[in-house]
Amino acid sequence: MFVYERFCQWLGHLKLSRVILLVTVILFVVPLFTHYYLSKYESMSGLKGANSMRHTLEVLGDISTTNVADLKLRIEEMLRIKASVSTELRELEAKRGRLQREAAAASLKADSAKAEYARAAAELQRLRVSADQARIAQLEAIRRDSPELAPPVQILPSFPPSILPPVSSSAEVHCRMFSCFDYSRCSLTSGFPVYLYDPDVYAPLASAEVDGFLKTTLRQTLGYNAHLTHNPNEACVYLVIVGEAFPFDKSPLSTTDTYKLLLNETAVKSLPYWGGDGRNHVLLNLARRDLSVGSGDAFKGASTGRAMIAQSTFTHTQFRAGFDVVTPPALGPPGGDVWADCAPIAPARRKYLLSFQGSQPTPKVQYTEQDKSLIEHLQKIANSAPASDLFLLQFECDPPVENSASQPIGDWALCGTDRSRRALLRDSTFVLILAPADSRYTTTALLQARLYEALRSGAIPIILGGDGIRLPYDEVLDWSRATLSLPRSRVTELHFLMRALPDADLLTIRRQGRVLWERYLSSVQAAVDALLATLRTRLLIPPRPAAATIGAPAFNESYFPPRVDPPAVDAEPEETLGPLEAPYPSPAYRRNYSVGLVHGYDLWNNWGEPFALYPQLPWDPVVTSEARFMGSAAGFRPVGAGAGGSGREFSEALGGDRPREQFTIVILTYEREAVLAAALARLRGLPYLNKVVVVWNGPSAPGAVSSWPESGAPVAVVRAGRNSLNNRFLPYSLIDTEAVLCVDDDAHLRHDEIVFAFRVWREHRDRIVGFPGRYHAWDLNFNNGFLYNSNYSCELSMVLTGAAFVHRYYLWAYWRALPAAVRDLVDEYMNCEDIAMNFLVAHITRKPPVKVTSRWTFRCPGCPVTLSADETHFHERHKCIQFFSQVMGYTPLLSTQFRADSVLFKTRIPHDKQKCFKFI
């Protein structure tokens, strides 16, 4: 029966006539022959007795005589028929197999055609949306009445300052920018070129006894400054280095001293570009003498014309606010990393609540009544304080400090050695800094030396008499966030104020003091860069653009792998994620001249980066909601034209509070062509993709490959100079967008996940937004710091940059603001670059990262083994967190319990509506 059924199945694939013929032969002819011979055989075998035997013999005799030949022929015919049927059956089986294969192939082709039709229909719809947006962009370009901006083009003078008559001594005191500065040499697009008089070439500087250390250091540090020019004819500002012996600092002046004074003044006024009155000149004095006895005013009694003065000691009558600049003394190293000099920020409260070490120099200077009253009140506070509040107040130095005629009256000298003072300050929550009792002085080098040491050691400065004191670069730095400045009359309330500050405020003030010290005071280079940046900010001139990294092409100009369509992959569930547009770079340098006006204090005090101009910043402001529809609509793509919506309306426009934009994908790879090719193939059809930058991290150039998967966007392959994980964050000039998606070559992300993360990042542009969350956990066993934790947790503090969005600005900040020791450890371990980026962003913003979706990992299951599979991987990451915390003085990572998922996800909505993202 089974054979019959199978045979019927075979017959179903044959033509009708052949089927009828075979059925007739098999079902009728063959059974008739079979039945005939079998019946005869049965009848013969059924006979009984002799008659039967006789009959049988007769029959056999018949057969033997008459039908043997015929029977033989019939049997042979039957065998031939059987062989024929068997052959036919085999042929039918083979043909059936071929037909089944053809039917399966046709079915697959039909399914592929249906899928291709669906993809083509979706792409057609996206292209229609892209065409509509292109038309909108064209109309916006026609209507736009402001040009696209670019980095400033320099407009420079081509002649030296003209000779003008000198100003009178009485007019020098009243010099201000509007009356003594020549703005014509400093156009807004000049770039602020600065010319340095070589102290070894020009006689007045050599005769002024400039410290040899400062000569060498200033040449070196200014050589790194982008504003230095060697062409004096195009300079905006002329920098003159003078020593503390210029003109002479003894009082009263003897006849010889007066002669030296006049000699030095004449020599300075004979400088080749003095211009008769010294306009646009800056006389810089960085004190280097023994600060234990104070440092005098280098320009005491000197005539400086219209030149600005930059030094650390000024009297009220001498200092010209908004014209002269208060600079710190040169106490630090020439430059480089200074993190090793800093004390950790935690704990908030240290051994001593308040400390002070200082003495009036000998021979004994009589304390003023004000000083006596101040000392009595301080001692009374220390004696009446509870045992938990320790004070260390020392008003006499041992051995006594020698007197200096140049020291202001009442200016307290430093006691002990630098090491002993540092040890005390590291144990002090607050440190007392007394303003000079001599009310003529608004700042002194000794006062600033105390400020420098306090900030370096993390002791919060309390400046008594601070209402009459000027601190370094105070026209741009907000010292109220790093110091407590009190009038002397509030000394009785000092203890109450110190106890009223909670730990969070103490740590915030201490952290801000460390930031200001590191960036503007810690080294000679930091001080000089801050001086020039202050003058440039005063003139409203934007800084020079930050230099982008020029990536070396991995392929030469004559060869690039040919592009081919990637192989067919399992299609994702149909979901419109956004239009497929041509590459659209983020508008750059639109705030060249406004960022300093709107965010001037933020640049100096929050971000600490007033030294360079960036194409965009994460903190660029947004317009108001109605402005997007009234006069400022250029670039915006509101959802549903402003009416909102979900599903297709949502996907056809980015919406939000920002204009349209795209993102760049940066892939770091190391000689894994197959893995890289698969990663590029997965990007095909990804909306909002501007460009793919592949960083080839291998020591050898990529080999010639037969084909390169088409990702749907331009692909640029750059070859790194060396194998380093830091190369992931190089600010390549190829990156044209603010949004940068950093991914590993083996990261496997769906398109909807990437687009969703991009939309979330647009709402949190100053943070890291990504998928794999991690946590820094306290070491419970040894209490010696934090450990790296990759377990599932309800809190997280890091998002790994193997699959995360960051703002382009942070790529520069990684190389400019992050201490070099951090990057060196990354190179040593070949690990932890993602932790370093999380430390940097959290340090700048004081915000945690944003994790999107429930995805916890992003590795593709079939990819080769990665570095994270090594057993030492996690041990190194523990060490990285602890070392980075030591370098930065604290652990900037902040914990969060927030995760971003799609609006309307798992929400019941009407059947005629769609969710924003179906599967997120």
Give catalytic residue positions. Answer: 834
- d(CA 914, CA 920) in angstroms, rounded, equals 13
| Residue 477 to residues 338, 467, 472, 825, 897, Cα–Cα distance (Å) | 20, 16, 8, 32, 35
SS3 at position 665: strand
For residue 796, the 8-state DSSP code is B
Element (H, E) at 777: strand 773-778
How much of the chain is in helix, strand and coil states, percent to nearest 5? 40, 15, 45
Q: Where are the alpha helices (DSSP H) in 182-249?
A: 203-207, 212-224
Residues 6+ apart with CB under 8 A from 441: 313, 314, 315, 316, 408, 411
> Is the dihedral angle over the CA atoms 667, 670, 674, 675 positive or is it negative?
negative
**484, 452 Cβ separation under 8 angstroms:** no
- d(CA 352, CA 881) in angstroms, rounded, equals 29
Tokens of 577: 């994620």
**603, 620 Cβ separation under 8 angstroms:** no
- d(CA 113, CA 165) in angstroms, rounded, equals 88
786-789 β-sheet, strand order: 786-789, 773-778, 798-799
- d(CA 656, CA 334) in angstroms, rounded, equals 47
Instruction: For residue 275, give the amino acid letter.
Output: G
Residues written for the chain: 920
> Torsion over CA of 100, 106, 111 and 115, rounded to 10 degrees?
160
| Residue 803 to residues 663, 745, 916, Cα–Cα distance (Å) | 13, 10, 22
**394, 357 Cβ separation under 8 angstroms:** yes
- d(CA 706, CA 693) in angstroms, rounded, equals 20
The torsion angles phi and psi of 777, rounded to 5 degrees, stand at: -110, 140
Instruction: For residue 693, give the amino acid letter.
Output: V
